Structure 1
Amino acid sequence: LYVTDEAARAYAGQIVGRPHWVRSLALWPGHDDWIYWQYHDSGRVDGVSGDVDLNVLQGGQEMLTTLFAAPPESIPSETREHPERIQGHRFR
Structure 2
Amino acid sequence: MAASAFAQTAAPTPAPSPTATPRIDQREVNQQHRIAEGAASGQLTAKETQHLEKEQARIDNTEAKAKADGKVTAKERRKLTREQDVASRDIHRAKHNKRVAPTAG
**TM > 0.5 between the two?**
no
Answer 1 or 2: which has greater strand percent.
1
Answer 1 or 2: which has greater helix percent.
2
Q: TM-score, normalised by structure 2?
A: 0.21
Higher RCO (CA < 8 A, seq sep 6+): 2
Q: TM-score, normalised by structure 1?
A: 0.22
